[in-house]
Amino acid sequence: MRNRLSSPWFVVGLGLVTTLTLSGCPEIQHVAERAARQSGDERLARAIHGTGQLIGGLLPIGPEEEESIGQAIALQVIGRYGGVYGQPELTRYVNLVGRAVSLTCDRANIEYRFAVLNSETINAFAAPSGYIFVTRGLLKAIQSEAELAAVLGHEIGHVTQKHILDVIQRSKQISGVAEAGLAYASRNPDAFKNVIDGAVKKLLDEGLDQGKELESDRLGVVFASRVGYDPTAYLTFLNRLRSIKGDDRAFFKTHPNFSNRISVVQNALREQGVKPGGALLTERFAQRAGGRL
Amino acid sequence: MVHRVRLNVLLAACLAGLAFAASTLAETVYVTAKTAQIRSGKTSLDPVVANLQYGQELDVVTREDRWIHVQTTSGAKGWIYSSKVSSTKPPGTENELAALGQRYRRGDPSVTAAAGARGLDKASEGYADRAGITQQHRDAVDRMTGYRILDEEVQEFLKSGRLGEYAE
C-alpha cells in the first residue's frame, strides 16, 4: 500500500499551503484543496483544509479583531455595573490621568479610553483595545491622583499584556466552536457571542489568573512612576483596601489577597530600582474628583 | 618607503576597526511614548529640536540625570526625558503576524472593519443584538470609543501637575 504522506502531491501540497496561507491567500488554499480532491486524494484535501485553519487559529489576534472584542466586552461591563456615571468633568479628569500614564506604558500606540461606572462596589476592569473602567465606589476609596494613576496603570497593564486576549486564545470554548477558532467565530455572530460571553464570565465572575493580577500590580506602579507619581501611593491604597474589604470572600474570588499584592508591589519597586518620592497630587484629586462622587 | 606604506595601511585599518567598534558599541534606544520631542537643553522649557515618532530609533550620546542626549538617524541631536525611551523596541501597530492572522481569519472584511471613525463596529453591534444590550449602553460604548483628548491637553495636564519632564 502506497504511503500517501510521502507522496509528491502531499509534500508539494503542504509546502504550497503553508507558503500561500502564510502570505494571506486563502483563496489559493481552496484551489489547492480542490486540486487535491480532484486528484482523488481526500486525505490530502482534508490536511490542506485543516492546516490552513490551524494556522489561522494560532496566529495572534489583530488590532481590528481586538477592537471588536474590546467593544463587545465593554457593552457587558457597562450593562452589569449600572451604566456609565454621568459626570463629564469627572470622566475627563480620569481620562487625563489615564492618558498621562498610558503615554509611557509598554503599549503606548493604542487609544486608551476610560469611563466611570455608576456602581458603589469597589472594582475596575480592562477590556482589550484599551477600554478601561473604574467604579464610583473605587474612586471613593482613592485619596490622591497618584493612587488613581497606579490603579489605572494596573488596568493598562492588563491591556499591554493582552491578558483577556490570552484567555480567549487559550479558551477551550473557542477551540470547541470550530477547529478554526476565531476564524469561525468572526464569521458567525452566534459563535462570536460565545467567545465574548466566555471572556466576560472570566473577567467579571471568575476573575483572571492570580499571576495576571499580580503582573498588572507590578506594571501599574512602574507605569505610574515613569510619569512622576509617587509609587508608594499604590501601597497606601492597597493597605486602605485591606482595611476596608477585610476578608470579603466575594472580592477575593476575583483578586489575590492584599498581603500578597502588597508584597509583590514592594518587590517590584525594589527590583526595578523605583525610589519613593514623586507627585501625590492629593489636592488636585480632591478638587477634580472628590466633590463629584 | 615600503615600511611607511605598511604603517599607513596598518593605521588606517586600526582607525577603521575603532570606528566599527564604536558604531557597534553605540547604545540604541527607542521612543516608547506616543509623542515625544528632543530639546536643545535638559529642561522642558528648552526649544524643541525635533518631533519624534513612536518606535523611532535613537543613538545615545550621553546620559545625565533623567535626561538622555541622543542623535536621530537623520543627524538631529538633542535631549529627551528618559521615561520616553526604552532599550527594547516597543510593539508596533504593524505586528505582521497579528495582521496576517486577522487577514486570514476575516473571510468577510465587513465583519470586523470599523463602521467609521467612531462607534460600534459590525461584530460588536451584532453581539449587542444577540445579547439584548440596551440602546443606552450601546450609546455609552459608542461615546467611549469616540472619546478624544488631544495630546496637547495631556501635556498641559502634566505641566500643571509638574509631572514627567515638567517635574524638574
Tell me the residue type at B160. S
Structure confidence at residue A292 (pLDDT) = 84
Phi, psi of A109 (to 5 degrees): -90, 10
Interface confidence: ipTM more than 0.90: no
Structure confidence at residue A53 (pLDDT) = 47
Count of residues for chain B?
168
Phi, psi of A176 (to 5 degrees): -80, -20
Task: Give B 62-101 residues with CB within 8 A of chain A.
Answer: 83-84, 86, 90-93, 95, 97-101
| Alpha carbons A203 and A248: distance in angstroms, whole number | 18
Lowest mean pLDDT among A191-195, A248-252, B20-24, B36-40: B20-24
Where are any strands of DSSP class E within chain A? 113-117, 124-127, 131-135
Letter string b/e over residues B36-52, b meaning 16 or more CB atoms within 10 A of that residue's CB: bbbbeebebeeeebbeb
Q: Is the dihedral of CA A236, A120, A94, A133 positive or negative?
A: positive
Structure confidence at residue A151 (pLDDT) = 97
Hey, of B104, B122, B145, B168, which one would you mutate to test binding to chain A, going by the most A CBs within 10 A of its CB? B104
Count of residues for chain A?
293
| Alpha carbons A147 and A141: distance in angstroms, whole number | 10
CA distance B36 to chain A (A): 9
Q: Which residue of B has its CA nearest to A103?
A: B33
| Alpha carbons B159 and B165: distance in angstroms, whole number | 8
- Per residue in B94-126, pLDDT (tens digit) is 455 566 566 555 544 433 433 344 578 888 999
- Tell if the CB–CB gap between B133 and A79 is shorter than 8 Å: yes
B166: Cα within 13 Å, side-chain hemisphere: 13
Least CB–CB distance from B149: residue in A76, A99, A278: A99
Task: Give me A45's grid cell.
Answer: 484535501
Low-confidence ranges of chain A (pLDDT < 50): 1-25, 28, 52-56, 173, 175-181
Structure-model confidence comparison of residues B35 and B99, the more confident one: B35
In chain A, residues with a C-beta closer than 8 Å to the C-beta of B100 are: 22, 24, 59
- Tell if the CB–CB gap between B136 and A83 is shorter than 8 Å: yes
| Alpha carbons A212 and A52: distance in angstroms, whole number | 31
Asked if residues A69 and A164 have their Cβ atoms less than 8 Å apart, the reply is yes
| Alpha carbons A235 and A228: distance in angstroms, whole number | 16
Structure confidence at residue A250 (pLDDT) = 63
- Per residue in A16-42, pLDDT (tens digit) is 444 444 444 455 456 556 655 665 666
**Domains, chain B, ordered by start:** 2-90 (2.30.30.40), 109-151 (no CATH)
| Sequence spans of domains, chain A | 4-58, 63-165+205-292
First vs last C-alpha separation in chain A:
78
Q: What is the DSSP letter of A248?
A: -
Structure confidence at residue A98 (pLDDT) = 97
- Per residue in B41-53, pLDDT (tens digit) is 988 778 888 989 8
- The answer for residues whose C-beta is within 8 angstroms of residue A291's C-beta and 6 or more apart is none
Phi, psi of B7 (to 5 degrees): -65, -45
| Alpha carbons A149 and B157: distance in angstroms, whole number | 13
Phi-psi region of B50 (alpha: psi -120 to 50; beta: other; left: phi over 0): beta
* Percent of chain B at pLDDT exceeding 90: 37
Structure confidence at residue A116 (pLDDT) = 98
Structure-model confidence comparison of residues A272 and B7, the more confident one: A272
Q: Is the dihedral of CA A261, A264, A270, A274 positive or negative?
A: negative
SS3 (DSSP) at B28: strand
| Alpha carbons A57 and B123: distance in angstroms, whole number | 18
Structure-model confidence comparison of residues A48 and B7, the more confident one: B7
Task: Give B 21-50 residues with CB within 8 A of chain A.
Answer: 32-35
| Alpha carbons A129 and A32: distance in angstroms, whole number | 36
